[in-house]
């Protein structure tokens, strides 16, 4: 019998076998759509900013090496299999940790809770843990309702907070209708429009929930003063403000939090809730967090401290990994790196826009989170395919298909970023030529 270190995990199936098996046992329409697009980026070997596909783009061709500029929405902020994170998990296992018991207290949860409180502004010093972003969003909405004794929730049109219960209710109808999931207490307003928010908000509303930079909505950047204005409206109406930092937090903008100077240096607010997911895992061990102000705690837990639990959320191993990630990503040198590369990325993308002003309507973003909006919706999809052929994985935004979102791992070097820009430029040049031919 083989020992564990000899066991093979990657490449046990050919690409053809995998597609068949996936269609049979996991999701057939997904396989069909990938085939229709003419590609199947199935991650095989992976390391740093790169991943190798399991098979070639066409039958008989060798695997492709791809730069992951999707980063799974921030899951791979530290790239794939960051050595310090992998070692942290191994050390935590060797050091005696396992999942822990959610009903009992946990040393690791206490330590991570303190670390988050130290990184968060104001009196955001309590944290409840989960596994997925949607679960942590559900917690924030639940807790807002318990605290305010109100039911209303206002979110942004095109925003995305997950596919679970309350999180799903905040989203666009495309995601909800199939599941007959709707609720008149949940309203959507245009993002970045303070007047619309003012009209919608009232004393029946428990919470306003916003992403710092709506990602699925098309990497939208609110006008300066929007978030402070929303904070003020929430205060005037006794409404809780939930900031979803699942994609835009943890250093992505070059500041640790998007709401704390990451959008505009002077726009700094203290939300009532801050939710993190994706990058909390470093792509190694899932964990999500819902941090909130101490004053909120007693309305939820005083009568029954066990009223909200998650068996696998806030596992001891997950907390150890997340703690290491926070240590790395909150380092001022790390954030300065993101800021510096962000400036270089912006310059490069603006040059691409200038060169293809007939195709590209706008580029926008912060730090290492950028969107390229095309005039025509189809070009967002076509550019994604051309970029994959150039060896760059990015994707069009689910709720704004004319926009491609680009989120390279935050550990990317200047040289690698220049390479990414060259490849994106080549892809758009090819797209432009094809459209003209
Ligand atoms: C901004 C944002 N919030 C929440 C979520 C939900 O996270 P999860 O898929 O881990 O439930 C996502 C997922 O894409 C997201 O992008």
In the block, tokens 């070097």 appear at 413
Which run of H or E residues covers position 243? strand 240-244
| Ligand 1 atom, smallest distance to 214 CA | 1
pLDDT at 1 over 50: no
Q: What is the rounded distance in angstroms from the CA atom of residue 428 to the CA atom of residue 356? A: 8
CB of 286 shorter than 6 A to ligand 1: no
Average pLDDT, the chain: 95
Least confident of 4-8, 120-124, 237-241: 4-8
- Per-residue pLDDT at 56: 72
Residue 230 CB neighbour total at 10 angstroms: 24
Any atom of ligand 1 within 6 Å of the Cβ of 277 = yes
| Ligand 1 atom 8 nearest Cα | 133
The pLDDT score that the predictor gives to residue 204 is: 97
- Region at 18 (left for phi over 0; alpha for psi -120 to 50; beta for the rest): alpha
**Which of 133, 138, 168, 209 to probe ligand 1 with, by most ligand atoms within 8 A of CB?**
133
What are the residue ranges spanned by the domains of the chain?
83-329, 332-397
Tell me what pLDDT residue 282 has.
Answer: 98
pLDDT at 37: 77
Average pLDDT for 38-48: 86
Tell me the pLDDT tens digit for each residue of 340-370. Answer: 999 999 999 999 999 999 999 999 999 999 9
The lowest-confidence range among 6-20, 127-141, 280-294 is 6-20
Mean pLDDT of 59-83: 93
- Domain 83-329 sits in CATH 3.40.640.10: yes
Instruction: Give the confidence band of 109 by pLDDT, cuts at 50, 70, 90.
Output: very high
Please report the pLDDT score of residue 176 as a whole number: 93
| Sheet with strand 240-244: strands edge to edge | 126-130, 288-292, 273-276, 240-244, 205-211, 152-156, 186-189
pLDDT at residue 3 greater than cutoff 70: no
Confidence bin at 224 (pLDDT 50/70/90): very high
Would you place residue 62 in the very low, low, confident or very high pLDDT band (cuts 50, 70, 90)? Answer: confident
Q: With beta carbons less than 8 A apart as the criterion, state whether 408 and 67 touch.
A: yes
Q: Is 211 in the pocket of ligand 1 (CB under 6 A)?
A: yes
In this predicted structure, the answer to whether residue 59 has a pLDDT above a threshold of 70 is: no
Minimum-distance ligand 1 atom for the alpha carbon of 159: 1
Judge whether residue 58 has pLDDT over 70: no
Confidence of residue 57 (pLDDT cuts 50, 70, 90): low
Decide whether any atom of ligand 1 lies within 6 Å of the 70 Cβ: no
Percent of residues in the chain assigned helix, strand, coil, to nearest 5: 45, 20, 40
Poorest-confidence range of 51-65, 239-253, 416-430? 51-65
């Amino acid at each position: 019998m083989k020992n564990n270190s000899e066991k093979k995990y990657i490449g046990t199936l050919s690409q053809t076998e995998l597609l068949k098996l996936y269609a049979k046992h996991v999701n057939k329409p997904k396989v069909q759509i990938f085939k229709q697009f003419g590609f199947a980026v199935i991650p095989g070997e992976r390391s740093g900013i790169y991943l190798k596909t399991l098979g070639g783009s066409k039958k008989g061709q060798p695997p492709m090496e791809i730069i992951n500029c999707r980063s799974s929405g921030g899951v791979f902020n530290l790239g794939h299999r960051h050595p310090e994170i992998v070692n942290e998990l191994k050390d935590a296992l060797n050091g005696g940790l396992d999942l822990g018991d959610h009903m009992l207290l946990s040393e690791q949860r206490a330590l991570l809770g303190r670390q988050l409180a130290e990184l968060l502004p104001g009196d955001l010093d309590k944290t409840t843990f989960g596994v997925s972003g949607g679960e942590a969003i559900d917690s924030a909405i639940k807790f807002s309702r318990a605290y305010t004794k109100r039911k209303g929730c206002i979110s942004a049109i095109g925003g995305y907070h997950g596919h679970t219960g309350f999180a799903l209710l905040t989203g666009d109808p495309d995601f909800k209708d199939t599941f007959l999931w709707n609720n008149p207490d949940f309203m959507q307003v245009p993002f970045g429009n303070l007047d619309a928010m003012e009209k919608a908000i009232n004393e029946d509303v428990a919470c306003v929930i916003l992403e710092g930079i709506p990602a699925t909505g098309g990497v939208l950047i609110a006008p300066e003063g929007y978030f402070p204005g929303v904070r003020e409206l929430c205060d005037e109406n006794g409404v809780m403000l939930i900031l979803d930092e699942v994609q835009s937090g943890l250093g992505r903008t070059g500041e640790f939090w998007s709401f704390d100077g990451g959008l505009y240096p002077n726009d700094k607010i203290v939300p009532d809730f801050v939710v993190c997911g994706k990058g909390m895992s470093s792509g190694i061990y899932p964990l999500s967090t819902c941090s909130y102000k101490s004053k909120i705690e007693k309305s939820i837990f005083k009568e029954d401290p066990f009223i909200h639990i998650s068996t696998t959320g806030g596992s001891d191993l997950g907390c150890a990994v997340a703690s290491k990630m926070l240590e790395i990503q909150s380092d001022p040198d790390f954030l300065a790196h993101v800021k510096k590369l962000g400036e270089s990325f912006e310059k490069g993308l603006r040059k691409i826009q200038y060169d293809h002003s007939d195709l590209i309507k706008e580029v926008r973003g912060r730090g290492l989170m950028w969107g390229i909006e095309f005039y025509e919706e189809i070009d967002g999809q076509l550019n994604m395919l051309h970029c994959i052929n150039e060896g760059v994985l990015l994707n069009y935004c689910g709720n704004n298909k004319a926009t491609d979102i680009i989120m390279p791992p935050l550990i990317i070097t200047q040289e690698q970023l220049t390479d990414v820009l060259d490849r994106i430029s080549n892809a758009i040049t090819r797209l432009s030529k094809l459209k003209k031919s």
